[in-house]
Structure 1
Amino acid sequence: MKIQIEKVSSVDYPRLQQIWESAVLATHDFLQEDDFTEIQKQLIPAYFPQVTLYKAVFTKGREISGFLGVLENRIEMLFIDDPFRGQGIGKALLRFGIDQLRINELDVNEQNGQALAFYQHQGFEVIKRSELDGSGKPYPTLTLKLRASC
């Protein structure tokens, strides 16, 4: 199946919320339940309008399978619906961000080993570590930067 990357409109937000939930439940087992709920109900809906969002859709069926949120040169969010993981969608969104949007930096939770390995495999390297996440919660965060050769 062919993947297309398109800009998101606000009508897509409910589907993006579902994708976020599916992805986080599959990969963020370190999150406390209260923190998950706060992020899900308050933070994610507030973040959507603050970033430029792109969706990955399959040309057949037009189902949104993942999304990318960027701000300036940074990826602020990249989530893949759990049933679609491992099918090249994350790589397609990341390559789109690098090639078309010139992103070269992102943050990732240190405990999310799958995401860290994915980004490192795609040419990113750790440049900084913080004990707290962007909301001040005790989830160590790594800042990654794209190597110049990628």
Structure 2
Amino acid sequence: MNIRLMEERDQDSMIELWLRGSEQAHHFIPMEYWSSKQSEMRNVYLPMSESYVLEIDGHIRGFISIVGSYLAALFIDPEYQSQGYGRKLLDHIKSRQERLELKVYKANEQAVQFYSRHGFKVQQEMLDPDTRQPEYLMEWTKSK
């Protein structure tokens, strides 16, 4: 297992992983929504973020993206979930940050529980203007 900074050649694998992960984790949102966002992922979101990939045997099995202190994405290949890889990516970012915030859909209970276990606290509940789904704003602050 290796965690490294994303390279441009990683984008196709990351977008494929993001799409599969979004379909699995966000089953309450039509798949067409996620499919329609692939271009934005490639041309806007990935280029503006600092992203790290998790490689296993030369294949990307997860990634994490931040923009400043905002945790924009954390995706693990569904076949590799619940094996500690999400925690490893999160710890990699936490070691470089004093504070992180993120938004997570309320209906994505597995993710809400994951972030709660790793020290994130719900700060606010709101509605995602794109999907009209309730989401939480969560925050983590490094202990002094």
- The TM-score, its normalising length taken from structure 1, stands at 0.87
CA contact (8 A) 1:80 1:90 kept: yes
Computed over aligned residues only, the root mean square deviation of the Cα atoms, in angstroms, reads 1.7
Q: Cα distance, 1:6 vs. partner?
A: 0.4
Distance apart, 1:137 and its partner CA: 2.6
- Output the CA distance in 1 between the equivalents of 2:99 and 2:8: 23
Displacement of 1:13 after TM fit?
A: 0.2
What's 1:21 paired with? Answer: 19
The residue that corresponds to 2:122 in the other structure is 126
Partners of 1:147 and 1:102 lie apart in 2 by: 6
Runs of 4+ in 1 over 2 A off after TM superposition: 100-103, 147-150
Q: Percent identity?
A: 23
Equivalenced residue count is 143
Cα pair 2:98 2:141 within 8 Å, conserved? no
Tell me, yes or no, if structure 1 residue 42 matches structure 2 residue 36: no
Give the alignment partner of residue 141 of structure 1, picking from 128, 135, 141: 135
Q: Does the CA contact (< 8 Å) of 1:97 and 1:103 recur in 2?
A: no
Say if 1:108 and 1:115, in contact at 8 Å, map to a contact too.
Answer: yes
User: What's the offset of the Cα at 1:36?
Assistant: 2.0
> How does the TM-score come out when normalised to structure 2?
0.90
The residue aligned with 1:11 is: 9
Asked if 1 retains the 8 angstrom alpha-carbon contact of 2:99 and 2:141, the reply is no
- Equivalent in 81, 84, 95 of residue 99 of structure 1: 95
> Larger % of strand: which?
2
CA distance in 2, matches of 1:69, 1:147: 18
